[in-house]
Amino acid sequence: MNIALAQLNYIIGDIEGNTEKIIGEINRAKSQQVDLVVFSELAVCGYPPKDLIDYPSFIERCELALVEICQATENIGVLLGGPAWSGLERGKKLFNSAYFYKDKKLLRRVDKTLLPSYDIFDEYRYFQPNEVFECIDFMGEKIAVTICEDLWNIDTEKYYKVTPMDELIKQNPTVMINLSGSPYSYNHVEKRRNRMKRNAKSYSLPLFYVNQVGGNTDILFDGGSMFINADGDIVEECGFYKEDFKVIQWASDKPYPDNHEDYYDYDIGLIHDALVMGVRDYFGKIGFKKAVLGSSGGIDSAVVHAMAAEALGAENVKAITMPSKYSSTGSEDDAKKLAENLGSPFSNISIRKAYDAFEDTLADEFAGVAPNVTEENLQARSRGVILMAYSNKFGHIVLNTSNKSESAVGYSTLYGDMCGGLSVIGDLYKEQVYELARFINRYGEVIPYEIVNKEPSAELRPDQKDSDSLPPYPILDKILFHYIEGKKGWKEIVALKEEGLDETLVRKIVKMVDRNEYKRFQASPTLRISHKAFGTGRRMPIVAKYNH
Amino acid sequence: MNIALAQLNYIIGDIEGNTEKIIGEINRAKSQQVDLVVFSELAVCGYPPKDLIDYPSFIERCELALVEICQATENIGVLLGGPAWSGLERGKKLFNSAYFYKDKKLLRRVDKTLLPSYDIFDEYRYFQPNEVFECIDFMGEKIAVTICEDLWNIDTEKYYKVTPMDELIKQNPTVMINLSGSPYSYNHVEKRRNRMKRNAKSYSLPLFYVNQVGGNTDILFDGGSMFINADGDIVEECGFYKEDFKVIQWASDKPYPDNHEDYYDYDIGLIHDALVMGVRDYFGKIGFKKAVLGSSGGIDSAVVHAMAAEALGAENVKAITMPSKYSSTGSEDDAKKLAENLGSPFSNISIRKAYDAFEDTLADEFAGVAPNVTEENLQARSRGVILMAYSNKFGHIVLNTSNKSESAVGYSTLYGDMCGGLSVIGDLYKEQVYELARFINRYGEVIPYEIVNKEPSAELRPDQKDSDSLPPYPILDKILFHYIEGKKGWKEIVALKEEGLDETLVRKIVKMVDRNEYKRFQASPTLRISHKAFGTGRRMPIVAKYNH
């Protein structure tokens, strides 16, 4: 039989638009003699719909869309994800389901068993777990249908008590199909491939795996849908960060040799593509075209500028450099050169007048009190006001240019350089930002070498360098990684012999991370590329007293 | 036997501090011949600990604290909440547990069965649900111990498949004890009392119920611990919004007549007390003493000022009025009079210079483009910069003064009037703000009557009134309530005959709410007093397309 993997980019909540897209692919599949076309998890409403799903009217609209999709299934099998009323007297009101249609009829509904509720996931908030396991007979094959997480409970340490395939295998299925909504984070592509290969191998069954693609605010779905043979080899794989449609001629008795080559073996390239897609989808899905950013002549804004130019077109990215009396002319020139290299509109708007006005306005109130961080923040906030004014005036979205290292330790100004509609590199440690800059320059200078090579500075005081108040970034990033991604307390970090990190320093950094929870609470959404990004996936109390 | 209800205010993560507090109460109980002292859910670490609990070192510190508490239980029974390693090969790593100690030994550990994961709750993110039910024998009684949500699954429509007391009752317990972490929202006090009374009545068992008290960032715990007799009458009730310790002489064969009178029958009074506690605890638990706020002469900032003065002492609340050319002198005078009434320090800092500097700075960039909302936002953001500068200079926390009506429709400026460390009335609709103002003035003028009686205006344009761009607040608040708390789509709201709301208006307002999700994402933490506050409890996608 011919099975199609339909890897699409959905807009959350745009049920009518998603339905139109799905029916379009069903018709495409028909024209290619496909017997069964498979879509991803919760395709009809897009994943993750979050609390939209709490609105009964939202579920009703999904139901209407499913009726419409059902009507389009004459002579073809269609398997797609959508919510379903559970109808239970005891338990939650909804299931996260897969609908199997054929010839305008619902052949079977399969409900998701394992509901992830860690990191960015929240599915137990909405759904009741399935407890019934039954394969689906279709064209002489017996199909074991599962939904995303259902195939992930195969480690020695199991997160869930049930492993759905262990139940389904008892009915002797001939093939597995999994509908996923599996987001990217670095290493996750390999992790996901390996996990799915192990499923195929351990159950000795081929696996059709369909993921969605696209950026949904902060969460980036990479795609990479695949067909894996019963030996656990990837036979076909869809593209990353783009929609794809692959038809596979499949029969249960035919061998499928491994002829697949990895698209990506360079991880920073995947991160780059993820972020570019993230920016493009953030703007595209809400109908915005233009971005504005503060271009300081430093590495962070340069990397954001270059990727935004790739995502939106350089002419749609306005760069504004906003010098103060502490800015070096070098910085202004570098920012300008970057805009020229990329071909972006550029302005130089000094914050001196605004800064002087605030100093003057506050002179009485602050009389006799020594300058402190207040004056540095005044500069950052004056810049924030200018960027937001530009945004308001011309309808550009402000891109935030903070990185994860500085968000972590609070080396940033709330409502100043923390402003923006979207943080592009907020989940990249400083060292990764440099790596990304080198990747962007892989074919030659895009980001001026002066920017890549200069020592990091916020330029908010005379001759200020980041290293005045922070340890060198390679050390800082290491501590942060162990604390944030590694969930180690300071004692455990200090105990890591291979790192040789100083106790006083580790404790200081860990405390800085804890203390700045209140700032990050008000940060913009941040494109997620790690497995522990600030934001949705990391929920710390603000008012608390702890010392990991 | 003598049973003590220990209703305490914990600091999240402050395991050592909480332990000291708990041991103090154990000693107090001993001195009062108490046989069993009961603390609330997760008392050892404070509730909710959120992702702190993902750190193994955090659990280890809880374990050490429990050992210490155990050592303090000579000649007394102690029942308190804390996390426990599940030790399961299949399932999550932690239980949400109640530890029952006596004579320096662990008599029994009881794990929580029902893990709420709706609204602000996230317990399935961390914990494995219990599946084993056993009563505890203690001093000739058989105690059915449950934890919070375990007693809530008693409606006709059940949210969970299991009802723990239906299992425990089979062992013929003589008394129920429930350890809770149950936050306040309006009507929740009555709802909780009724729920617990129904439990007592339907199982014909007395119930000892212990809640925590205190504000934890946005979530406000009201206390109200109680002893209910087997007829379902409240016999004893602890105070609201304060720590309390009540000893009850109890024997299973003694009747306990209902001699309890409700402390509160006036709901706005409870809201008032909740918010005052919320401000006090936000500051107190992180060691801050002083607040600063923008005092516009309007009702919102006046109500926040009055409550902050009550929470922190008027002398610790700095009010700054920041007139622009559009501000009426009336407003400046009213703000000043309010500060005088309360006895707070007050400054008048004009934003004219700052505003002019921005206009001047942006003149070239904005040449030939008509004024729009940009210029209004420039005023709001200039004020934000001044407040934050004051905060940075003197270590005051900025209090945000937005209300729920304006947050809902985005009638607020990001980084402008939306700035602040804590939003005090952000979960109150405008009509509720007025109600609160009248409550504050119940014994005479605190908030000048001029402020209470004037028509609401943002004063960002000449002669601007809120009613220029918004419907009257009684109508706006009604639509918002149906949409946000009621989870009704626009069609359902229009269909409400008794409301008679205009379709065009309802659709416009609903769309405004949806569109401003991006702003609320960056709002400050907001004290929660409704059952559907913006923030943790309402998780909507930003990049989405929907039309409820």
Percent of chain A with pLDDT over 70: 99
What pLDDT is recorded for position B404? 98
Lowest mean pLDDT of A516-520, B167-171, B261-265, name the range. B261-265
Cβ within 8 Å of residue A293, ≥6 positions away: A301, A304, A305, A308, A317, A318, A319, A320, A387, A398, A399, A401, A420
Nearest-Cα residue of chain B relative to residue A487? B55
**What is chain A's Cα-based Rg?**
26
What pLDDT is recorded for position A525? 97
> Which DSSP string corresponds to B487-503?
---HHHHHH-TTT---H
pLDDT per position as a tens digit, B22-61: 999 999 999 999 999 999 999 999 999 999 999 999 999 9
DSSP-derived letter for residue A486 is S
Cross-chain residue pair B543–A12, CB shorter than 8 Å: yes
Whether B468 shows a pLDDT value over 90: the answer reads no
Q: What is the mean pLDDT of residues A117-139?
A: 96
Cross-chain residue pair B543–A365, CB shorter than 8 Å: no
Q: Which residues of A touch B354 (CB under 8 A)?
A: 354, 357-358, 361
Of residues A321, A297, A327, the one with CA closest to residue A387: A321
Between positions 412 and 451 of B, the ones with CB within 8 A of A are 414-415, 419, 421
Q: Which of B217, B388, B390 sits opposite A543 (nearest CB)?
A: B217
Rounded Cα–Cα distance for residues A183 and A45 (Å): 16
Rounded Cα–Cα distance for residues B136 and B154 (Å): 22
pLDDT per position as a tens digit, B261-304: 776 667 899 999 999 999 999 999 999 999 999 999 999 999 99
Whether A432 shows a pLDDT value over 70: the answer reads yes
Nearest-Cα residue of chain A relative to residue B539? A51
Cross-chain residue pair A157–B538, CB shorter than 8 Å: no
Whether A547 shows a pLDDT value over 80: the answer reads no
Rounded Cα–Cα distance for residues A59 and B381 (Å): 40
Distances (CA, A) of A456 to A452, A472, A483, B185: 9, 10, 23, 48
pLDDT class of A327 with cuts at 50, 70, 90: confident
The residues of B annotated with a catalytic role in the active site are 41, 112, 148
What pLDDT is recorded for position B458? 82
Rounded Cα–Cα distance for residues A332 and B420 (Å): 32
Strands of the sheet containing B136-138, edge to edge, are: B136-138, B141-147, B175-179, B207-210, B226-228, B234-237
Of residues A302, A350, A547, A348, the one with CA closest to residue A446: A302
Burial class (CB in 10 A: 0-12, 13-18, 19+), A364: exposed
Whether B208 shows a pLDDT value over 80: the answer reads yes
Backbone phi and psi for residue B433, each to the nearest 5 degrees, phi listed first: -65, -40
By the CB < 8 Å criterion, does B349 face chain A? yes
Cross-chain residue pair A13–B545, CB shorter than 8 Å: yes
Q: Where are the alpha helices (DSSP H) in B52-147?
A: 56-71
A296: left (phi over 0), alpha (psi -120 to 50) or beta: alpha
Which pTM does this prediction carry? 0.95
Helix H or strand E encompassing B529:
none
Q: Extract the runs of DSSP E, i.e. beta strands, from B91-163.
A: 94-102, 105-111, 136-138, 141-147
Cross-chain residue pair B13–A546, CB shorter than 8 Å: yes
The dihedral through the CA atoms of B158, B162, B167, B173 has a sign that is negative
Cross-chain residue pair B55–A487, CB shorter than 8 Å: yes
pLDDT per position as a tens digit, B211-264: 999 999 999 999 999 999 999 999 999 999 999 999 999 998 888 988 787 766
Rounded Cα–Cα distance for residues A122 and A65 (Å): 24
Of A465 and B385, the structure prediction assigns the larger pLDDT to B385
Rounded Cα–Cα distance for residues A492 and A483 (Å): 9
How many angstroms away from the CA of B33 is the closest CA of chain A?
33
Rounded Cα–Cα distance for residues B354 and A320 (Å): 20
How many angstroms away from the CA of B263 is the closest CA of chain A?
29
DSSP reduced 3-state for B47:
coil
pLDDT class of A518 with cuts at 50, 70, 90: very high
Whether A254 shows a pLDDT value over 70: the answer reads yes
Q: What is the mean pLDDT of residues B112-124?
A: 96
DSSP-derived letter for residue A51 is G
Residue A74 in tokens:
């004459």
Mean per-residue pLDDT over chain B, rounded: 95
Residue that is written with structure tokens 């009613």 in the block = B467
Cross-chain residue pair B50–A521, CB shorter than 8 Å: no
What pLDDT is recorded for position B179? 98
Q: Which of B14, B217, B384 sits opposite A542 (nearest CB)?
A: B217
DSSP-derived letter for residue A75 is T
Mean per-residue pLDDT over chain A, rounded: 95
Rounded Cα–Cα distance for residues B185 and B218 (Å): 12
The dihedral through the CA atoms of B366, B369, B371, B377 has a sign that is negative
Domains of chain A: 2-258 (3.60.110.10), 270-464 (3.40.50.620)
pLDDT class of B440 with cuts at 50, 70, 90: very high
Identity at B308, one-letter amino acid code: A
How many angstroms away from the CA of B407 is the closest CA of chain A?
15
Q: Which residues of B touch A219 (CB under 8 A)?
A: none
By the CB < 8 Å criterion, does B353 face chain A? yes
CB A224 within 8 A of CB A210: no
Task: Report angle CA A203, A207, A213 to the nearest 5 degrees.
Answer: 140
The residues of A annotated with a catalytic role in the active site are 41, 112, 148
Task: Note the ipTM here.
Answer: 0.94
Of A455 and B440, the structure prediction assigns the larger pLDDT to B440
- Cβ-Cβ contacts under 8 Å between A and B: the total is 279
Q: What is the mean pLDDT of residues A489-514?
A: 95
Number of helical H runs and strand E runs in chain A = 17, 19
Rounded Cα–Cα distance for residues B257 and B155 (Å): 26
By the CB < 8 Å criterion, does A139 face chain B? no
Cross-chain residue pair A51–B544, CB shorter than 8 Å: no
Rounded Cα–Cα distance for residues B167 and B173 (Å): 11
Residue that is written with structure tokens 């005044």 in the block = A378
Between positions 61 and 100 of A, the ones with CB within 8 A of B are 89-92
Residues B372-411, buried b or exposed e (16+ Cβ, 10 A)? eebbbbbbbbbbbbbbbbbbbbeebbbbbbbbbbbbbbbb
What pLDDT is recorded for position A263? 67
How many angstroms away from the CA of B251 is the closest CA of chain A?
35
Cross-chain residue pair A384–B415, CB shorter than 8 Å: yes
Q: Which residues of A touch B124 (CB under 8 A)?
A: 117, 124-125
What pLDDT is recorded for position B328? 85
Task: Report angle CA B524, B526, B532 to the nearest 5 degrees.
Answer: 130
By the CB < 8 Å criterion, does A20 face chain B? no
How many angstroms away from the CA of B489 is the closest CA of chain A?
6
CB atoms within 10 A of CB B359: 17
Residue A104 in tokens:
């305008």
> Which DSSP string corresponds to B367-407?
TT----HHHHHHHHHHHHHHHHHHHHHH-PEEEE---HHHH
Residue that is written with structure tokens 């009037």 in the block = B417
What pLDDT is recorded for position A379? 97
Between positions 273 and 302 of B, the ones with CB within 8 A of A are 281-282, 285-286
Whether B207 shows a pLDDT value over 80: the answer reads yes
CB atoms within 10 A of CB B15: 27
By the CB < 8 Å criterion, does A381 face chain B? yes
The separation between CA B176 and the C-alpha centre of its own chain, rounded to angstroms, equals: 27
Cross-chain residue pair B358–A389, CB shorter than 8 Å: yes
* Largest pairwise CA distance in chain B: 87
What pLDDT is recorded for position A60? 96
What pLDDT is recorded for position A500? 93
Q: Which residues of B touch A522 (CB under 8 A)?
A: 522-524
B287: left (phi over 0), alpha (psi -120 to 50) or beta: left
Whether A262 shows a pLDDT value over 80: the answer reads no
Q: What is the mean pLDDT of residues A274-290?
A: 97
Of residues A318, A296, A271, the one with CA closest to residue A527: A271
Between positions 483 and 502 of B, the ones with CB within 8 A of A are 487-489, 491-492
Of residues A158, A149, A176, the one with CA closest to residue A79: A176
The dihedral through the CA atoms of A483, A487, A490, A495 has a sign that is negative
Q: Which of A286, A394, A414 sits opposite B543 (nearest CB)?
A: A286
Rounded Cα–Cα distance for residues B346 and A365 (Å): 11
Q: What is the mean pLDDT of residues A149-159?
A: 93
Cross-chain residue pair A545–B381, CB shorter than 8 Å: no
pLDDT class of B191 with cuts at 50, 70, 90: very high
Of residues B405, B546, B542, B540, the one with CA closest to residue B481: B405
